[in-house]
A and B are shown apart, each in its own frame.
Chain A
Amino acid sequence: MSSDAPDDSSATTDSFTLPLRPLIEKRDRPDTLPVEIAQINAQWGSFRDVNEDELQVKIQEEKDKEGIEDEDEEEKPAGEVDSTERLEQLYKRRAEITQFALQAQMETMFALDFVSLLLSKHVPRQAETSMSAFLKQAVPLGSLNSEIVSPPLKPESAAQDPKVVSRGWRLQSFDAAANKLLKSASRLETEVASETRYWSEVLAVKDKGWKVSRLPRERQALGVQYGFLEATPIFRDRGLASLRRADDGSLILDKGLVPSKSRRIRVRVKINDRVTGCSKSTRSTADGEESIETRILQARDTVYEEELFHELVREARIMGGQGVTTRQNLIRFAVSEEQEIMLDLADTDLESFSEDTDVIDSHEDDVLADAIAHSTRILLSYAHRQNLHRRTQPPPPLSQKRRHTPEYQLLRPILAYLQHRSHVEWLESFIKDMYGVLKSAGVDSDYSANLFSSVNPQRKNHSLPKVEALVQGFLVPLESTISGSLITPKSPFRVRIRTSLVSPPFGTNYDISMTMPQHPGIQPPARVGLRSEAAAIITHFLMLDVVSAVSSYRPPPGVDGHLMWQAAYPHHGELLTVSPTSGEHKKKMKVTLTRGEMTLDVSYARAADGTSKHSQTWKADPTVPQQPGLMKFVADVSKE
């Protein structure tokens, strides 16, 4: 009888106690020790005779007896019997069985005879049929009688014994039943407690706004949906985990076979084989006790990141022609000659100290890496929105052709942006240099830039939600325009850069347009792809512009003896003077324009050695002291 069971019952049922155990009267029992001593004395003799040797002998005897029995048991199976012996044994056994059977039969016959003889007193006819012949001869019928005798009265103690025994048994069974009941009560109690905890946690999850539903395959289990409905089917189906109950009732998020590691996309920027930037982890993983909420969030993030990587790889494969390479778990592409971007799927806890040997060398490009990482995520969620949009449109008729899901635009907009930005930066600095030269030469001209006009947030598209309109700006070809004025009036120039990685023409193109009144037939080639070419074209046109500016120089009225310039070979930057009186060429001027400086050389046309008489160079460098302007110089050299 367990003594702690009643305590349990009192502890667990506070309000209502039902006595399940039989009340046991505490009788002051007589000490049993004297009885036992008397028993030992009767069995083994006086304690005085007990000594160690005797006991040892007894123990040995006991052991021996056991040993013998063991040996007996062992002997039988040990003996290897051959076939004849076996046969003999078999016969012997059979004989034994028969003997037993015969004996049994005999005994039954005796019993039958006895009963028959007994009955023959009352029903002689019937009893006679079952009597053996021998009995009939030996004993006359009806010679045995029976009558009921009242048994002698049992002594008081003998009558008491069964009572006590049955009472004991009853008590014991009552107790066992009570124990069982109490045990199941406490089991139910804990079960109820853990069930309550489980449901309250499920409710807490539901109150947080997660979708809780039955699992489709396992109807009796609950699941929480944290995935993205518009994701690719394999990832969409992974967005459902069952909410299981631990023994203590706490919630377990069971994602099945999917490993519970949390992973995320890591973006690294590498310049000349030095890692100069790495995207930061969005969340520091709390170790140990995590709430179910954070576990769900982590599962959601992981499934999102894995889908993102899957889609990135899918897109990277079709971008092989644009310099994107993929490995098993790495996407890499070059933005410029030295800069390289790498994307991979890394475990959150391992972070940057992974087995990769790439140690972060510096953090100067962390912002870029972070920006890329965030952009991919934004673009994926944009793709999800597009999927929803597509899914809710009436579908095309069913046909055998399988519909191909196009790769999402994740890398392409980023790559296009980076490429475009690098081109724009180059062009801006180039134009700045050129205008710096012109400005230092005292030419009054300026330029203005309209960068990333397609991403302009001012452009409103009311049919789309704001977020989608914002992202869409990055998906259309990127365009920037730099326009400026030239020295010659009414000759604006404009350079448009267009980058597109989605629709042809792929890559970045410069579209330069200029109108030169003096050279109406000259048009820059359309769609220039290379920076050097674009630079050459712009320089050439600016040089032509300077040439026309010089050739349009007119001496101030009233001043005699001034020469006028005529563009002899404008494309080589050569001018000759035209004397208003004789019409002969006296002086020669050569305009040389490069990035950063402009030189005007003036020499006599007849000079055999071509040595310059006057020369002036302007540089964009602002530290160079102010020099006379272009027109001033032209006026100077125009004097005869």
Chain B
Amino acid sequence: MHELLLFASVPLHQHHELRQQLAGLTAMQPRHRLERRLIFKAYRKPGVITTRVGASQDVQGVDLQRLNKMLNGGMYYTQVVGPVLHENFAAAGVTRGEGDDPDAAMSGIHESQKDSLSHSTYDYESQSWKLEFRDIPEAGTRSAVTARLMASAGLPKGDIVEPMNAWGYGFVTEYVVEGDIFILNDIVIFLHRVLRYPSESSDPHAPRGQLPSFEQMKPLDKSGSYVLQAAITVQDGGNQETMRTASQHLFGLREQLRSAVRLEQADRLSLDTRAK
């Protein structure tokens, strides 16, 4: 599958207004979305992995082969995405342990045990995950949209580090994305920003078992600005016709939003997912 994208930066003061404009444009209420995103990095040398990776039951022929080649051939960062709810974050004011808790995994177990009576409803063991692979955007395309190869696959629930390790991926870091989704025909508009966990000193080798309070999450961009992402996924990236239709749809959206935001192509190298 391919993904065609346009991006725009939305300053904080414009966020509310744009949210309303998008709601009007798409004639739907925004779907609020919170996602945990874990970054994994392939660490084995290319060629070592011989097993087929993920989602092999739905054979997609060429596409799958390409994906396999890509996953095994080069070294890539991939993202594991898990949807969470606002309620999953700890209640405001109640801080979880100390920031310098030496063993996050332990603390995770500890927390999940007293989950039922604790302030948070988050259960790491039942967290669902999705693997999202994104290639570096295609180079040298004349079209003014970012196009890249993508693939997604469901993953087992709960602790994801172990299976990922087995597939040759090591956990790097994690962050949270919060934002609203709008759907306009084929286009998925995601108005979001990246939130960082409050302290970076906790064990960076495993995802958190427990979430801090939402108020403690700090936006990556200090000004609190948002990113507007308009995306269309295309089943067959080799088909010029559909690719053109998809980019035309995106251009149409760009025109419609011209007076509000400027949607444009992203810098290719800033979306580089290759592990060097």
A398 & B28 in contact (Cβ 8 Å cutoff) = no
A399 & B242 in contact (Cβ 8 Å cutoff) = yes
Q: Any chain A CB within 8 A of the CB of B260?
A: no
Q: Any chain B CB within 8 A of the CB of A229?
A: yes
B183 & A399 in contact (Cβ 8 Å cutoff) = no
B188 & A394 in contact (Cβ 8 Å cutoff) = yes
On chain A, the residues within 8 Å of B232 by CB distance are: 398
The total of Cβ contacts below 8 Å across the A-B interface reads: 36
On chain A, the residues within 8 Å of B181 by CB distance are: 394
State the CA gap A397–B3 with chains docked (Å). 9
Interface residues on A, range: 10 to 19
A395 & B183 in contact (Cβ 8 Å cutoff) = yes
Q: Any chain B CB within 8 A of the CB of A392?
A: yes
B242 & A400 in contact (Cβ 8 Å cutoff) = yes
The residue that B183 contacts in the complex, of A229, A391, A398, with Cβ under 8 A, is: A391
231-260 of chain B: CB within 8 A of chain A: 232-236, 239, 241-242, 245-246
Nearest residue, chain B, Cβ from A394: B188
B183 & A397 in contact (Cβ 8 Å cutoff) = no
Asked, given contacts A388-B28, A398-B245, A399-B242, whether A393 binds B183 with beta carbons under 8 Å apart, the answer is yes
State the CA gap A395–B29 with chains docked (Å). 16
State the CA gap A38–B242 with chains docked (Å). 100
6 nearest A-B residue pairs (beta carbon): A399-B235, A397-B233, A397-B235, A398-B234, A392-B28, A395-B186
On chain A, the residues within 8 Å of B185 by CB distance are: 395
179-203 of chain B: CB within 8 A of chain A: 181, 183, 185-186, 188
State the CA gap A214–B246 with chains docked (Å). 28
- Chosen A-B contacts, 13 in total, with CB atoms closer than 8 Å, are A391-B28, A392-B29, A394-B183, A397-B233, A398-B186, A398-B232, A398-B242, A398-B245, A399-B236, A399-B242, A400-B236, A400-B241, A400-B242
Q: Any chain A CB within 8 A of the CB of B31?
A: yes
Asked, given contacts A398-B232, A398-B234, A399-B236, whether A392 binds B183 with beta carbons under 8 Å apart, the answer is yes
State the CA gap A323–B231 with chains docked (Å). 46
B239 & A400 in contact (Cβ 8 Å cutoff) = yes
Q: Any chain A CB within 8 A of the CB of B27?
A: yes
B241 & A229 in contact (Cβ 8 Å cutoff) = no
On chain A, the residues within 8 Å of B155 by CB distance are: none
Nearest residue, chain B, Cβ from A230: B27
- How many B residues have CB within 8 A of the partner chain? 20
Asked, given contacts A400-B239, A400-B241, A400-B242, whether A395 binds B188 with beta carbons under 8 Å apart, the answer is yes
B234 & A399 in contact (Cβ 8 Å cutoff) = yes
On chain A, the residues within 8 Å of B245 by CB distance are: 398
State the CA gap A394–B232 with chains docked (Å). 10
Nearest residue, chain B, Cβ from A395: B186
Nearest residue, chain A, Cβ from B242: A398
On chain B, the residues within 8 Å of A388 by CB distance are: 28
* Proximity bits, A472-508, B CB within 8 Å = 1, else 0: 0000000000000000000000000000000000000
Q: Any chain A CB within 8 A of the CB of B1?
A: yes
On chain A, the residues within 8 Å of B239 by CB distance are: 400
State the CA gap A390–B268 with chains docked (Å). 33
96-120 of chain A: CB within 8 A of chain B: none
On chain A, the residues within 8 Å of B234 by CB distance are: 397-399
Minimum distance in angstroms from A84 CB to a CB of chain B: 76
State the CA gap A394–B26 with chains docked (Å). 13
On chain B, the residues within 8 Å of A229 by CB distance are: 27
Minimum distance in angstroms from A239 CB to a CB of chain B: 12
Minimum distance in angstroms from A314 CB to a CB of chain B: 22
Main secondary structure of the interface of B (DSSP, over half): mixed
A398 & B233 in contact (Cβ 8 Å cutoff) = yes
On chain A, the residues within 8 Å of B233 by CB distance are: 397-398
219-233 of chain A: CB within 8 A of chain B: 229
On chain A, the residues within 8 Å of B1 by CB distance are: 397
State the CA gap A229–B241 with chains docked (Å). 29
On chain B, the residues within 8 Å of A400 by CB distance are: 236, 239, 241-242
On chain B, the residues within 8 Å of A399 by CB distance are: 234-236, 242
Nearest residue, chain A, Cβ from B3: A397
On chain A, the residues within 8 Å of B31 by CB distance are: 392
On chain A, the residues within 8 Å of B246 by CB distance are: 398
State the CA gap A229–B246 with chains docked (Å). 23
State the CA gap A397–B149 with chains docked (Å). 13
378-393 of chain A: CB within 8 A of chain B: 388, 391-393
B27 & A398 in contact (Cβ 8 Å cutoff) = no
On chain B, the residues within 8 Å of A393 by CB distance are: 183
23-77 of chain B: CB within 8 A of chain A: 27-29, 31
B188 & A398 in contact (Cβ 8 Å cutoff) = no
Minimum distance in angstroms from B134 CB to a CB of chain A: 15
On chain A, the residues within 8 Å of B188 by CB distance are: 394-395
State the CA gap A393–B236 with chains docked (Å). 21
Minimum distance in angstroms from A400 CB to a CB of chain B: 6
77-110 of chain B: CB within 8 A of chain A: none
State the CA gap A399–B235 with chains docked (Å). 5
State the CA gap A400–B186 with chains docked (Å). 13
State the CA gap A397–B187 with chains docked (Å). 10
11 further contact pairs, Cβ within 8 A, besides A395-B188, A398-B186, A400-B241: A229-B27, A388-B28, A391-B183, A392-B183, A394-B181, A395-B186, A397-B1, A398-B233, A398-B242, A398-B245, A399-B236
State the CA gap A397–B239 with chains docked (Å). 13
State the CA gap A394–B1 with chains docked (Å). 15
Nearest residue, chain A, Cβ from B187: A395
State the CA gap A566–B183 with chains docked (Å). 75
State the CA gap A393–B1 with chains docked (Å). 19
Minimum distance in angstroms from A578 CB to a CB of chain B: 66
Minimum distance in angstroms from A70 CB to a CB of chain B: 70
State the CA gap A398–B181 with chains docked (Å). 18
On chain B, the residues within 8 Å of A394 by CB distance are: 181, 183, 188
202-248 of chain B: CB within 8 A of chain A: 232-236, 239, 241-242, 245-246
Minimum distance in angstroms from A401 CB to a CB of chain B: 8
State the CA gap A284–B228 with chains docked (Å). 51
Minimum distance in angstroms from A249 CB to a CB of chain B: 30
Nearest residue, chain A, Cβ from B236: A399
State the CA gap A397–B150 with chains docked (Å). 11
State the CA gap A391–B233 with chains docked (Å). 16
Minimum distance in angstroms from A229 CB to a CB of chain B: 5
Minimum distance in angstroms from A233 CB to a CB of chain B: 11
Minimum distance in angstroms from B189 CB to a CB of chain A: 11
Minimum distance in angstroms from A445 CB to a CB of chain B: 50
74-109 of chain A: CB within 8 A of chain B: none
Nearest residue, chain B, Cβ from A213: B24
Max chain A C-beta neighbours (<10 A), residue from B29, B233, B245: B233
Nearest residue, chain B, Cβ from A390: B183
Minimum distance in angstroms from A603 CB to a CB of chain B: 71
